[in-house]
Amino acid sequence: MIDHKTLEAQIELSLAKLRAQFGDTAPAVAVVLGSGWAGAVAQVQGAKHLAYSELPAFPQPRVEGHVGELVVGTIGAQAVVMLRGRAHTYETGDCTGMAGALRTLARWGVKALVQTNASGSLRAHNPPGALMLISDHINAPQRSPLVGEPGSERFVDMSAAYDAELRRQAMQVARAQNMVLTEGVYVWALGPQFETPAEIRMFAAWGADAVGMSTVPDTILARHAGLRVLGIALMTNMAAGLSAEALTHALTLQQAAASSERAASFLGAVVASLADLESLK
């Protein structure tokens, strides 16, 4: 549970650092880079870097492939702040790890959060290397980062957690690139162990199309902070029981790396296209 007084002080210090480093006007778009998506940083023009260690409200990533820094600049006409690393609930058991970071960004003036991740596919039409827009999610552990929050704002409406306009924009980019992009439901599994084949069969019966160990707590926090959310999942493997492969974190990173150039290119095009949306200006 969050110590609100301490977190508030950390947010204020982090906000002051962001304003001193990058100015009072925040980029409208923030992007959380999951495994396989780090290459998108190369598309940021005029990039300025700031380590999470200089931002008290931000987490210190403990997972291989997560660097722990902000990158601020532009992609096309769109100003953007990229987060190279996120907190995962399986690291400490605490699902509030991104609360300080996301609330700092929202208070700075960020309007939309683009979440990316590496996922296991539950559907044959989304093989490893495929990209999927997240249309909805299932919180399988039924853990909430809003437990203990005061006031009626904690009762966040999640009926449209993943913004329809942002999803349409991403689909337009995919069509312009003649790229296959599906939409589907992401199910959050706590981890860090991978799922069993029986669990995957259950998730598929629930209507899930992809499974992973992140994103959902951050989406809840983002919606609570008033941020619009777009989610894009990179399939790095078929989920347990759907292929003969043994699942390991090394395999996830290896397959994410194999698809990273294509994923990063698409992500950059999506971010650039958001400059056309009047609702983000």
Active-site annotation holds for 259? no
66 is catalytic: yes
How many Å apart are CA 188 and CA 203, to the nearest integer? 10
Which residue out of 144, 237, 259, 273 is catalytically annotated?
237
Q: How many Cα atoms are found within 13 Å in the side-chain-facing hemisphere of 71?
A: 21
Q: What residues contact residue 136 under an 8 Å CB cut-off, 6+ apart?
A: 161, 162, 185, 186
214 is an active site residue: yes
Q: Which of 121, 214, 259, 273 is catalytic?
A: 214
Q: Which of the residues 35, 119, 121, 144 is marked catalytic?
A: 35
249 is catalytic: yes
Q: Which of 38, 79, 98, 118 is catalytic?
A: 118
Q: Single out the catalytic residue among 99, 161, 174, 213.
A: 213
118 catalytic residue (yes or no): yes
Q: Please identify which of the residues 47, 90, 202, 243 carries the catalytic annotation.
A: 90
In angstroms, the CA 2 to CA 11 distance is 13
Spot the catalytic one: 66, 121, 186, 269.
66
| Burial class (CB within 10 angstroms; exposed 0-12, middle 13-18, buried 19+) of 113 | buried
Instruction: Provide φ and ψ at 218, rounded to 5°.
Output: -70, -35
Annotated catalytic residue: which of 14, 40, 57, 88?
88
Q: Does the annotation mark 170 as catalytic?
A: no
Choose, from 8, 54, 165, 249, the residue flagged as catalytic.
Answer: 249
Cite the active site residues: 35, 66, 88, 90-91, 118, 213-214, 237, 249
